[in-house]
Amino acid sequence: MTAASLRDRTSQSGSTLTREEMAVATRALNRRRLTAFALVTPLLAFIGFAFVAPITTMLHQGVYNPTVAELIPDTLARLQDWDGRGTPDDSVLATMAVDLKRLANDRTAGKLAEELNRGLPGTSSVVKATARKLRNVADHDLPSVGAALLLEANDRWSSPELWRTVREAGKRYSERNFLTALDLERSPDGEIQRRESARIYIQLYVKTIKMALIITVLTFLLGYPLAYMMANSSSRVANTMLIFILLPFWTSLLVRTTSWIALLQTNGVINSLLMGIGITTQPIEMMYTEFATIVAMTHVLLPFMVLPLYSVMKGIDPSLMRASLSLGARPIPSFLRVYFPMTLSGLSAGGLLVFIISVGYYITPALVGGTDGQMISNVIAFHMQQSNNWELAAALGTLLLVVIVCLYWAYDRMVGAGNIKLG
């Protein structure tokens, strides 16, 4: 309540507040506001530390990479005047020779080779071999013969494409990682075009969303009847079923995924059963496929669909369905028009939980999916753990976040809780 509202209420009641009373009321209101803010401060701090800061860092990491700029600053400074066509002049090549010798002595030439190889595959061996050959050259000779030594070490140093890669990699802030994440690149003229090399990331995004939608639909088809049965059963039956649903939460995710390996592998339980009863004569390849990933993740994520549905269904009055039937409605139309709309809030919550979790899942696709069943999260983990390309991993993660936010916005506009109409 504000001071203005206090004045309005007192004037309506026919009494007035003195200036001292208004000051006391204002101070009391400010104290309540400070108390409320103090109560939510830990939550705001946690959100800032665990959510805002990591996402901001990821966004910054996707466009910021000072490694090459710090390794060969003199070469990049001389490349500023190069027009991008033909081989740079000898002063640029000589400066690169000086930088490579210094990096070879500092044992950091491999880092430069790794960074340049991301922009132009095959550059790593050129940089490393040249650095080794220049290591024993006298420093005072390099300014005069460095260009010749560089071209003698490898004729690819005369390629304009290599030098464009060097200049592009030397930018501290660049959109190249986001372009790579979208299977795009810049042409020699600076225009954005589709990548000429392997284009895999857009396909992985589409595949990930498709698999997440399939898993969400499967958990709905399996979880809705189960939640309905629990909500309309006796307390003892419902509690027993609830224990079985919660049982996976008491088991390690790694153990649950490993159990699916035992079931789906070539000599596993399912193949042995199918061959034992004569349905198949040879094992069916189920492991390391998209099918294995979908099946295992549906099992893992099923409780996230059942529990929100059950909590909503438990609060629905059973007499509503009986009233609909007593008025002459048939069971199926009555269910679809009376009962089902009242469960849409639980269905929305469960669907969002399953979809968002499945989009970012990593362990299950890595163990049972193989190459065919991997998702975009597996590629992000690969760039972070093996290729050490954190910048590209950050760009891929940022785009995945943008995709999820856009899909949620579209979902909320079309079938969100605010658009649910009963009856």
Q: For 259-317, how does the pLDDT look when each residue is reduced to its tens digit (9 = 90+)? A: 888 888 888 888 888 888 888 888 888 888 899 999 999 998 999 999 999 999 988 88
Residue predicted with more confidence, 329 or 110: 110
pLDDT band at 361 (very low <50, low <70, confident <90, very high): confident
Cβ contact 211:293 at 8 Å = yes
Residue 423 pLDDT? 43
pLDDT on residue 26:
86
Q: Which of 63-67, 145-149, 359-363, 411-415 has the lowest mean pLDDT?
A: 411-415
pLDDT at 322 over 70: yes
pLDDT attached to residue 14 = 45
| pLDDT of res. 72 | 93
Q: Which amino acid, residue 423?
A: G
pLDDT at 96: 92
Q: What is the mean pLDDT of residues 1-17?
A: 51
pTM value is 0.79
Q: What pLDDT is stored for residue 73 in this prediction?
A: 92
Mean of all residue pLDDT scores within the chain: 85
pLDDT of residue 354: 93
The lowest-confidence range among 111-120, 179-188, 225-234, 407-416 is 407-416
- 39, two tokens: 């109560």
Does residue 232 have a pLDDT over 60? yes
- 379-391 tens-digit pLDDT: 988 888 888 888 8
φ and ψ at residue 360, rounded to 5 degrees: -100, 15
Q: Taking Cα atoms as reference points, which of 348, 373, 378 lies closest to residue 361?
A: 378
Of the two residues 365 and 16, the one the predictor is more confident about is 365
Using alpha carbons, list the distances in angstroms from residue 208 to 351, 356, 375, 404: 16, 11, 5, 11
Q: Does pLDDT of 11 surpass 80?
A: no
Residue 109 clears pLDDT 60, i.e. is over it: yes
CA-to-CA distance for 12 and 121, rounded, in angstroms?
Answer: 79
pLDDT score for 13: 47
For residue 22, pLDDT beyond 90 = no
| Overall average pLDDT of the 92-106 stretch | 90
All structural domains of the chain: 3-63 (no CATH), 67-172 (no CATH), 201-419 (1.10.3720.10)
- Segment among 5-9, 40-44, 219-223, 379-383 with least mean pLDDT: 5-9
Give the integer Cα–Cα distance in Å for 391 and 109.
Answer: 20
β-sheet bridge partners, residue 173: 64
Euclidean distance between CA atoms 259 and 248, whole angstroms = 12
Would you give the end-to-end CA distance of the chain in angstroms? 38
